[in-house]
């Protein structure tokens, strides 16, 4: 039972004894005491004033006096207007620290074989370009949310849908065919996804030239965009792909193979992974079958040009294209097929799509279409809608080649972390191999933390220079604190200090040390709230507050030089517990913490 629950029960019993009224313990309002007042927890007294027939202050005095008289858990109290501030005994905090110190998985509720399944989709790349900064936010959010949900007891299936077919894929293929001179990743030394992305940009550049030429000859802009030879050829290539043309399919498999090899390298460096990968080329046919069934059941309709539509005007939306006139499918068709396949593959309790907020309408429509097709789970889909990420210079555009490449950004972050750490003298005792590893951990930690500490539903600007700072609310600041604690613990071992045994719970500890233990006790509820709200930012900012509190304690109190052996052992256990919680919390964000720095 949590401390809050214990206090709620004690208050309910005291109110029953004093005023003969039964109060549901869970309904009693408990909150942390504000820093400007003395106490640990505050009880809101106003609901009992009517039964007490006394002022809020007098009611609080009566309840507080009875609690202190009957419960050693509470050592003192004070009343500020209608708020009863309770001070919890030092014995309780010391016993609690022992529990936290001994529990290396503190705060984590591990899933069992009987736990419900939550499937979380993230990444969802197109195979016509490499991953960029926007994909980084998506992947980091998806992976972190998955880890947080696992820590809340869910069986999590991390899944990815690869958009490996469609007109955008054909654009890269056609441009390579026309302008590529048989280039390969091997012949150029380029990662495969970068090479294919290069030709996506080449297509757009050549396409714009053709549009300008047609406009100069008298065509309207719309006519030029529709009739430019390149776009016509790309559309013909897509039709050939759907007809299983062997040459087109062979080129498609070759170029996609290059991209997958490149993606795998990026995912490994980013530290994310998947339990199951679906491919649009395998799911879109299932989607087409579902759409055709919808037509037979009069849920969808066919227009004279043979395109298939869903009429959603009764739901306050518009009409939605499901199959083009030439029979080719759209993203929605694929998503219908993928959803059906996933629910066939797994007994999913909750399906979560980690997709940017520009797709809010898409998922609203998907839910309605699945409902129309008779799938009861259609209304239960969760679109985790997150905000866009930009650079200080503004938005990025893939077609114009102005995106921030994920591989380049990660490499830059690692280089900057190494240079900054060396400049600050934090790696003086490290070998070149250790420097490289610390730079990797710190550089990627800075990137991940800067992105994940922001409320995911908000748009954000990523500033590489700010993220690598070793002070303030940054990944490196938290990582350095962890390394500092581990250094203290290593020195304790070298000095043969045994701090693994139970501490003396009659010790007199300071308010700052008590506050630090209190903060540690908040960790399980932070994980739960982060799971309920799908918000890694709650874990990130908790971690920062914990580290900030520890550094204040570390500045004010000696650990290894403390002369009182019992107090020294307590402080070592406190430091070790903070380090463990930091490691667990940062792990939920997909961030490593170094042992040395």
Sequence-ordered list of residues with C-beta below 8 angstroms from that of 432, at least 6 positions apart, any chain:
none
**DSSP per position, 60-85:** HHHHHHHHHHH-TTEEEEEEETTEEE
Sign of the four-CA dihedral 22, 26, 29, 32: positive
- pLDDT number for residue 393: 66
Distances (CA, A) of 96 to 31, 71, 116, 497: 19, 17, 31, 22
Residue in 185, 135, 189 with CA at minimum distance from that of residue 162: 135
Distances (CA, A) of 477 to 106, 450, 472: 22, 11, 6
Q: What is the 3-state secondary structure (H, E, C) of 526-568?
A: HHHHHHHHCCHHHHHHHHHHHHHHHHHHHHHCCCCCCCCHHHH
Residue in 242, 65, 63 with CA at minimum distance from that of residue 169: 242
Sign of the four-CA dihedral 461, 462, 464, 467: positive
H or E element that contains 309:
strand 308-311
Complete domains list, the chain, with CATH: 3-88 (3.30.1360.70), 122-390 (3.40.50.620), 407-588 (1.10.730.10)
- pLDDT number for residue 420: 87
- Residue 14, token pair as written in the block: 């005291």
Residue in 249, 259, 144 with CA at minimum distance from that of residue 193: 259
At residue 9, φ and ψ (nearest 5 deg) are -65, -45
Between CA 551 and CA 549 the distance in angstroms is 6
- pLDDT number for residue 526: 97
Bridge partners, residue 309, by sequence: 301, 321
Rounded to the nearest 10°, the torsion over CA 447, 452, 454, 457 is 130
Which residue, chain included where needed, has tokens 């990137």?
447
- Residue 72, token pair as written in the block: 């050693």
Contact between 163 and 153 under an 8 Å Cβ cutoff? The reply is no
Contact between 313 and 319 under an 8 Å Cβ cutoff? The reply is yes
Give the SS3 label for residue 325: coil
**How many Å is the maximal CA-CA distance in the chain?**
95
pTM of the predicted model over 0.95: no
- pLDDT number for residue 501: 85
Chain centre distance of CA 526: 14
- pLDDT number for residue 402: 54
- pLDDT number for residue 522: 95
- Residue 159, token pair as written in the block: 């899944």
* Count of beta carbons in the 10 Å neighbourhood of residue 449: 27
Strand 155-162 with 382-386, pairing:
unpaired
- pLDDT number for residue 141: 98
Residue 269 DSSP one-character state = H
Between CA 114 and CA 141 the distance in angstroms is 26
User: Residue 522, exposed/middle/buried by CB under 10 A (0-12, 13-18, 19+)?
Assistant: middle
As averages over each run of 10 residues, the pLDDT of the chain (597 residues) reads: 90 94 90 91 94 94 95 95 94 95 96 96 94 94 98 98 94 97 96 96 96 96 96 95 95 97 97 96 94 96 96 94 90 94 96 95 95 92 92 54 81 91 80 90 96 94 86 94 96 94 90 95 97 97 98 96 95 98 98 91
- Residue 46, token pair as written in the block: 């106003």
């Amino acid at each position: 039972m949590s401390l809050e629950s214990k206090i709620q029960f004690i208050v309910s019993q005291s109110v029953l004894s004093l005023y003969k009224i039964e109060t549901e313990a869970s309904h009693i309002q408990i909150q942390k005491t504000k820093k400007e007042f003395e106490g640990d927890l505050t009880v809101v007294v106003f609901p009992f004033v009517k039964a007490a027939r006394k002022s809020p202050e007098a009611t609080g005095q009566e309840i507080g006096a009875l609690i202190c008289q009957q419960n050693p858990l509470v050592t003192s109290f004070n009343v500020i207007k209608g708020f009863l501030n309770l001070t919890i005994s030092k014995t309780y905090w010391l016993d609690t620290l022992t529990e936290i110190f001994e529990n290396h998985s503190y705060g984590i509720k591990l899933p069992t074989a009987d736990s419900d399944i939550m499937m979380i989709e993230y990444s969802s790349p197109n195979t016509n370009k490499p991953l960029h900064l926007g994909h980084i936010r998506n992947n980091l959010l998806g992976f972190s949310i998955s880890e947080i949900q696992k820590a809340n007891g869910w069986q999590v299936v991390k899944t990815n849908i690869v958009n490996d077919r469609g007109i955008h894929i054909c654009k890269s293929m056609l441009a390579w065919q026309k302008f590529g001179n048989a280039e390969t990743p091997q012949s150029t030394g380029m990662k495969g996804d970068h090479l294919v992305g290069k030709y996506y940009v080449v297509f757009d550049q050549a396409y714009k030239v053709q549009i300008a030429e047609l406009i100069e000859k008298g065509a309207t802009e719309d006519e030029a965009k529709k009739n430019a030879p390149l776009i016509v050829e790309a559309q013909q290539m897509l039709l050939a792909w759907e007809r299983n043309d062997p040459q087109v399919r062979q080129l498609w498999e070759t170029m996609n193979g290059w991209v997958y090899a490149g993606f795998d390298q990026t995912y490994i460096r980013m530290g994310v992974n998947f339990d199951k990968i679906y491919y649009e080329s395998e799911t879109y046919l299932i989607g087409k079958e579902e759409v055709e069934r919808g037509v037979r059941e009069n849920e969808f309709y066919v227009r004279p040009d043979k395109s298939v539509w869903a009429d959603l005007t009764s739901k306050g939306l518009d009409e939605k294209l499901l199959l083009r006139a030439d029979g080719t499918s759209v993203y929605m068709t694929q998503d219908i097929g993928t959803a059906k396949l996933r629910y066939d593959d797994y007994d999913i309790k909750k399906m979560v799509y980690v997709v940017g907020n520009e797709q809010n309408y898409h998922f609203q429509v998907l839910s309605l279409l699945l409902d129309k097709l008779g799938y009861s789970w259609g209304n239960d889909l969760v679109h985790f809608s997150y905000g866009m990420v930009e650079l200080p210079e503004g938005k990025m555009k893939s077609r114009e080649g102005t995106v921030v490449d994920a591989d380049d950004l990660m490499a830059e972050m690692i280089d900057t972390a190494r240079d900054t750490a060396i400049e600050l003298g934090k790696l003086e005792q490290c070998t070149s191999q250790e420097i490289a590893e610390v730079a990797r951990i710190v550089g990627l930690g800075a990137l991940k933390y800067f992105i994940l500490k922001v409320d995911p539903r908000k748009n954000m600007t990523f500033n590489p220079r700010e993220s690598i700072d070793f002070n303030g609310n940054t990944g490196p600041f938290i990582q350095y604190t962890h390394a500092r604690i581990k250094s203290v613990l290593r020195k304790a071992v070298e000095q043969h200090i045994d701090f693994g045994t139970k501490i003396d719970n009659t010790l007199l500890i300071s308010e700052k040390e008590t506050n630090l233990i209190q903060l540690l006790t908040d960790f399980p509820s932070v994980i739960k709230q982060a799971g309920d709200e799908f918000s890694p930012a709650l874990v990130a900012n908790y971690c920062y507050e914990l580290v900030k509190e520890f550094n204040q304690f570390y500045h004010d109190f000696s650990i290894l030089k403390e002369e009182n052996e019992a107090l020294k052992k307590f402080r070592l256990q406190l430091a070790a517990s903070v380090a463990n919680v930091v490691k667990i919390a940062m792990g939920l964000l997909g961030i490593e913490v170094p042992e040395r720095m």
